A and B are shown apart, each in its own frame.
Chain A
Amino acid sequence: MLHASELSYGYSSGRHTRSFTLDDVSVTVERGSLTGLLGPNGCGKTTLLNLLSGVLQPAHGQVSLNGISLAGRSRRDIARHLAVVPQETHPAFDYTVMEMVLMGRHPHLGTFELEGPSDLALARDALAATGTDHLAGRAYMTLSGGEKQRVVIASALTQSPEVLLLDEPTASLDLGYQLEVAALLRRLNRERGVTMVLATHDLNLAASLCDRLILMRDGRVVAQGATRDVLTASSIRRIYDVDADVSFHGAAGHVTVTPLRRVQ
């Protein structure tokens, strides 16, 4: 459903130099899948997410959703179909949780339109789905890290997207909150069929959640496919320069990755 073909993009650090380039990246995200995006720091995961969400425009290539290109579409039009959950969200003012969640309706409302009962129903539904309905009246800034991330996911759900793009959603959370958010994502994907693309550094999170993986290094896709086929010791060595033990964990119910040593 979401397809990127031969994407190229470069960040310039000066007038004539390019500090980073994403080269010839083609990926496919199937409807209803939960796809993990893995790779070392600076490999282009966030850039690829921004290109997939239309926040960045590729220098070459195109991104299409259901066969229709995002190029030339307005931000509002794209946001009706694709929602993004960033690593952290720091509003400048003290919005309530309900206000934060209702901001997800922005792309569906006209410039002068205020949200109506149907929008409120969607927001309440998203709050219930993320287990944050009891926080609706609270100030967002007073929430814990895990609660904040669940509220941001609720706001993205209120956008009624076909695809949810998540950029390291558990990176700043402790172990308990990581499990909490992971369980939420799994449930939303399985019970509601929300298609997700998840950029993460947590290989075990990816192994437990994702049915497909895209592995990146130096702005290129190194491998993509089913998690069991792609998440191997050799692929981890290839993208991270790390020897790792990859084995099935019976209690966890999925493969687990134990890093052993850095390869020089």
Chain B
Amino acid sequence: MSRLRASRFGGQETLDSVAGAKTRARDTRAHVVPTPIRTRLLKTVAGFGVLLIVTCVIAPLVGSSPISLARVFDRSIPFSENVDAQIFFVARMPRVVAGVIVGAALATAGVVFQALLRNALATPFTLGVSAGASLGAMLAIVLGATISAGPLSAVPLACLAGAAIAAAIVYRLATMQDRAMSTTVLLLAGVTLNSFFSALIMFVQYIADFSQVYRAARWIMGDLDVGSFEPIMAALPMLAIAFAMFAWLPSSLNLLSVGADAASARGVDVGRTQRLAFVSASLATAAAVSLAGPIGFIGIVVPHLVRLIIGVDHRLVLPASALFGAAFLVVCDLAARTLLAPLEIPVGVITALLGGPFFLWLLVRKG
């Protein structure tokens, strides 16, 4: 039975050919090959999924100390005496896993913010959530805070608090005039808040002592050396919630990026979709920053590279960005660990060195 004929308004189908086309389609359904979007989605997930798996297998094997995969999994050697296994599981695997979830979170948050703001140059850090998180981290470092909540230590906890305050301020400002969210106010408030929090961060650093400033500066460069799986497990529930919310968004983001009125006319609850997009992307950004610091450019480089490869449909771009963002950050971290080994470059420096020129190229290309 046609979805249209099951009308709650009792209306009759007015487009004769609509019913005809549906009947024809049903008649020929057995002969129809999988629809393009289904095929494209399968190919996209398979392609980027394989890339991520290959990256995750290779990355922990490479580093300043060469290790053997056979020796890593050699059960005849006790773990306490198996240096290769210790390097693999204790030093490198947590970094790889952190790279996967932080890369996926920042890349998808970038996709969502770009669609929400209808601005291809938006990033997860555009709306001040990251600056709020950074200010929280700075205060925790400088004040030497020792509070903790479950697996969350002081710095990530302060990060999340700062991100939540920033998100709440921006959201409140964007919804002050109306129940619907003003994306223009959202963008302007975010940019302003970014500058305001950056000034506060500089002030906090100015009044801090040398060792605190060094620690703060190191944190702000971004770092995936999380030390163990514990901080990852602490960030995981927030990321799981954010990704579950992302799953509801792709087709609505397509329409939202065409325009709020167009989206509403096509059946999107614009207010609810905007809130869902803002909260989920802010949550993913906050969780990623609390785990690894503000690693820049992932949220803009990855979505645009993905769009160049597979097009702009968010039903493809969102999962592809998650997988490619994860692989991209793992590779960047690999470069950070190995390029000047035994010296380690902060991963944020690598992503910025790659992302900066890419961003400028994007601006020139758009212009």
Same complex for A and B? Answer: yes
Assembly CA distance A65 to B14 (angstroms): 14
Known A-B contacts A80-B3, A193-B14; the reply to A118 vs B262 at CB < 8 A is no
Q: Which of these, B13, B26, B258, B266, contacts A92 with CB under 8 Å?
A: B258
Is B255 located at the chain interface by the 8 A CB criterion?
yes
Size category, B interface: 35 or more
**B21 near A125 (CB under 8 angstroms)?**
yes
Assembly CA distance A103 to B312 (angstroms): 13
**B266 near A95 (CB under 8 angstroms)?**
no
Q: Which residues of A contact B32 (CB under 8 A)?
A: 117
Q: Which residues of B contact A117 (CB under 8 A)?
A: 25, 28-29, 32, 35
**B251 near A192 (CB under 8 angstroms)?**
no
Flag A54-76 by CB within 8 Å of B: 1 or 0 each.
01000000000111100001111
Flag A194-221 by CB within 8 Å of B: 1 or 0 each.
1100000000000000000000000000
Q: Which of these, A79, A83, A93, contacts B307 with CB under 8 Å?
A: A93
Interface residues of A (CB under 8 A from B): 1, 31-32, 50, 53, 55, 65-68, 73-84, 86, 89-96, 99-100, 103-104, 106-109, 111-112, 114-118, 120-122, 124-125, 129, 157, 159-162, 192-195
Q: Which of these, A112, A125, A161, contacts B247 with CB under 8 Å?
A: A112
Assembly CA distance A249 to B256 (angstroms): 44
**A118 near B15 (CB under 8 angstroms)?**
no
Q: Which of these, B14, B25, B26, B36, contacts A162 with CB under 8 Å?
A: B14
Cβ of B218 to closest chain A Cβ, rounded Å: 37
Interface residues of B (CB under 8 A from A): 3-4, 7-18, 21-22, 24-26, 28-29, 32, 35-38, 41, 114-115, 118-120, 247-248, 251-252, 254-255, 257-259, 261-262, 264-270, 307, 311-313, 315
**A114 near B15 (CB under 8 angstroms)?**
no
Using CB atoms, name the residue of chain B closest to A122.
Answer: B21
Q: Which residues of A contact B261 (CB under 8 A)?
A: 50, 55, 84, 86
Known A-B contacts A79-B266, A95-B313, A106-B268; the reply to A66 vs B257 at CB < 8 A is no
Assembly CA distance A194 to B252 (angstroms): 26
**A108 near B4 (CB under 8 angstroms)?**
yes
Assembly CA distance A117 to B25 (angstroms): 6
Q: Which residues of B contact A192 (CB under 8 A)?
A: 14-17
Known A-B contacts A77-B8, A106-B251, A116-B35; the reply to A125 vs B17 at CB < 8 A is yes
Known A-B contacts A68-B8, A79-B265, A89-B262; the reply to A103 vs B254 at CB < 8 A is yes
Q: Which residues of A contact B266 (CB under 8 A)?
A: 79, 83, 103-104, 106-107, 159
Q: Which residues of B contact A162 (CB under 8 A)?
A: 9, 11-14
Using CB atoms, name the residue of chain A closest to B13.
Answer: A160
CB<8 Å pairs between A and B, sample of 24: A32-B14, A55-B264, A73-B8, A76-B268, A76-B269, A81-B9, A83-B266, A84-B265, A91-B259, A92-B119, A99-B313, A100-B258, A103-B266, A106-B267, A117-B35, A120-B25, A121-B22, A121-B24, A121-B25, A160-B4, A160-B15, A162-B14, A193-B14, A195-B14
